[in-house]
Structure 1
Amino acid sequence: MKLPHGFSNANETRVCRLRKSLYGLKQASRNWYHKFTDALLQLGFVQSKADYSLFTYKREKDFVAALIYVDDVIIVGNSSSMITHTKKRLHDLFTIKDLGRLKYFLGIEVARTEKGLVLSQRKYTLDILKESGLEGCRPSPLPMEQNLKIGPDLEEEKVDASSYRRLIGKLLYLQATRPDITYSVNVLSQFVGDPRQSHMNAVVRVLRYLKMTPGQGILLPKEGGTRLVSYCDADWLGCQFTRRSRTGYLLLLGGAPISWKSKKQSVVSRSSAETEYRAMATTVSEILWVRFLLNELGEKVKGGTTLFCDNQAARHIANNPVFHERTKHVEMDCFFVRERVESKEIEPRYIDSKLQLADLLTKALGASQLKGLLVKLGMRDPHAPT
């Protein structure tokens, strides 16, 4: 913050006293969050412990939820009168602008179809293509070439690091509705410190893939139910340079993907069973958080959450109460997973590698296999001709 015009004097010793948080100051966002939170709490809302930006209101049969991001708010519920009352009270306090039914939120488009809601980022994708000058590029059926060995190459030509980082940053946000590019973007984000020409070529390949399906998104079905199912997978020694494995997990609620991740493991695993078990432990952590969130929303999760893994050894370790030399170095993960298995919160099951949906997040797939997995995930393009 600078002194107002007219007070800039070399011998000036006075300072400004902040009476009100102004937009753009470091303290503004924090003070705004506390003020808006207090307003919702006074209306009878309860702040979620699983997600501090989520607030719920429950009175008898009435249920209303408010999700906030800075000054953007989504309000949903089964009581139109309570929703109207909430918006009126907030308008009296903050002079809000009611945009009606949800259509666009933080770059995510919401399209209503007969089968449910489709979440996509078509406009955001087209803006990326326009900014990078690839609006007229030739589309690609794959985001990354199979068996591509990409890593740091100091002998290769350098590229503009700021442009590379900007593209990677935009693609990272695009993953919110595009699990099909998660693996590719995760691999390419490792080279933002010193990008080379081969890395930029791989990013262009991802953009060419997006050109083929710019409006593809996630279908949230009306009649999908609330059954929670998870898949976990790992690519043993997947990194050609560090030999670290990659964890990938996918959570489905009512048949729709709600959470997924692709991340390189922090240590080198000495066996495929160890790699898969570390991936299983990471997935269990996410499952527990989702179960806790669903309970807060009033949707009691009955029974254990099925966890599909295509490694028999990892599944046996999860159910075997005896420790031995093979599990000594991953004992903490063993205790963590086994405790949840014994409490019936998690049910590990074996699945054939050909049916493993999490393969999408651990390796580059062929065109036919990628398309088949996306169909199983319920990915849709509401803008595509029928």
Structure 2
Amino acid sequence: MEVNHKLLQEERGEQGPLCKDPVWFRRIVGRLVYLTITRLDLSYSVHILSQVMHKPQEEHWNAAMRVIRYLKGSPGQGIMLRADSDFQIRAFCDSDWCGCPLTRCSLSAYMVLSGNSPVAWRTKKQDTVSHSSAESEYRAMSDVLKELKCKSAIYIAANPVFHERTKHVEKDCHSVRDAVKAKLIATRHVRTNEQLADILTKALGSSAFHYLLSKPGVCNPHAPT
């Protein structure tokens, strides 16, 4: 379900034909927004589509139809809350640095799991432009304050000296470092192919998408075995 930031091209002067029925497009996307409450696999796609509600183009309509076809192909897919969960809280966070072609704001996302079951997730565009990938990652970590993921951000978390290029994120740094010091969170580096939050920040290929989707226990009981 490769709905990505390439759909947002108006600022670059690459505007395509307008959607023939923008009202119906808005109704479809509005319904999809409600589905993201239980379908975390839709979060990224719906986030992208919801940004073009004011002036949808034909390619946006085609992307929305692709999401609908995906839903029709997996009507029973949902979150399996495992009975053997140890209830240990884990969190994955990620950011797509300057990913939005319109504003150059980064995209933050996180997924919180109780045991192996997802209990909270979010995809959100950051309010301001980040000057570095480390900064955008720190903002994502500040949002979730559960577990750290990126090597550069982990280094800043452990480093008591604030360098010139990170002064503008000092507040986020302090909040994360204080949580680390108080042992409320523990820092772990997560390999790219195991980063669950990637499903909320990037348009992934089919194999990577379904692999990551299976990790937090999202399954379709109606699928053939």
Alignment match, 1:208? 69
SS of the aligned residue for 1:350 comes to coil
**CA-CA distance at 1:148 after TM superposition:** 5.7
Structure 2 CA distance for aligned equivalents of residues 380 and 257 of structure 1: 12
Does the CA contact (< 8 Å) of 1:216 and 1:382 recur in 2?
yes
Alignment match, 1:56? none
Does the CA contact (< 8 Å) of 2:5 and 2:101 recur in 1?
no
Alignment match, 1:84? none
Structure 1 CA distance for aligned equivalents of residues 126 and 224 of structure 2: 41
SS of the aligned residue for 1:189 comes to helix
Alignment match, 1:343? 182
SS of the aligned residue for 1:382 comes to coil
The letter of the residue matching 2:83 is K
Structure 2 CA distance for aligned equivalents of residues 155 and 212 of structure 1: 29
Which one scores higher on RCO, CA 8 angstroms, separation ≥ 6?
2
**CA-CA distance at 1:314 after TM superposition:** 0.6
Cα root mean square deviation, aligned: 1.6
Given candidates 330, 354, 376, the residue that maps to 2:169 is: 330
**CA-CA distance at 1:254 after TM superposition:** 1.2
The normalised TM-score by structure 2 is: 0.92
SS of the aligned residue for 2:101 comes to coil
Asked if residue 243 in structure 1 is aligned to residue 104 in structure 2, the reply is yes
Q: Which runs of 5+ in 2 are unaligned?
A: none
- Kindly report structure 1 stretches of 4+ aligned residues shifted beyond 3 Å: 152-155
SS of the aligned residue for 1:333 comes to helix
SS of the aligned residue for 1:220 comes to coil
Alignment match, 1:366? 205
Given candidates 116, 133, 158, the residue that maps to 1:319 is: 158
Does the CA contact (< 8 Å) of 1:249 and 1:262 recur in 2?
yes
SS of the aligned residue for 2:7 comes to coil
The normalised TM-score by structure 1 is: 0.55
The structure that is helix-richer by fraction is 2
Does the CA contact (< 8 Å) of 2:108 and 2:124 recur in 1?
yes
Does the CA contact (< 8 Å) of 2:148 and 2:189 recur in 1?
yes
Does the CA contact (< 8 Å) of 2:106 and 2:129 recur in 1?
yes
The letter of the residue matching 2:74 is T
Given candidates 237, 256, 267, the residue that maps to 2:117 is: 256
Given candidates 140, 143, 150, the residue that maps to 2:7 is: 150
Structure 2 CA distance for aligned equivalents of residues 383 and 357 of structure 1: 23
CA deviation string 1:13-45 (max 9, x = no partner): xxxxxxxxxxxxxxxxxxxxxxxxxxxxxxxxx
Asked if residue 375 in structure 1 is aligned to residue 186 in structure 2, the reply is no
Structure 2 CA distance for aligned equivalents of residues 308 and 257 of structure 1: 17
**CA-CA distance at 1:241 after TM superposition:** 2.2
Q: Which runs of 5+ in 1 are unaligned?
A: 1-142, 288-306
Structure 2 CA distance for aligned equivalents of residues 341 and 272 of structure 1: 21
**CA-CA distance at 1:251 after TM superposition:** 0.4
Does the CA contact (< 8 Å) of 2:95 and 2:201 recur in 1?
yes
Indicate the percent of aligned positions where both proteins have the same amino acid: 48
**CA-CA distance at 1:230 after TM superposition:** 0.3
SS of the aligned residue for 2:42 comes to helix
Alignment match, 1:183? 44
Alignment match, 2:85? 224
Number of equivalences: 221
CA deviation string 1:294-317 (max 9, x = no partner): xxxxxxxxxxxxx141x2111111
CA deviation string 1:305-349 (max 9, x = no partner): xx141x211111112222121210111111111111111101121
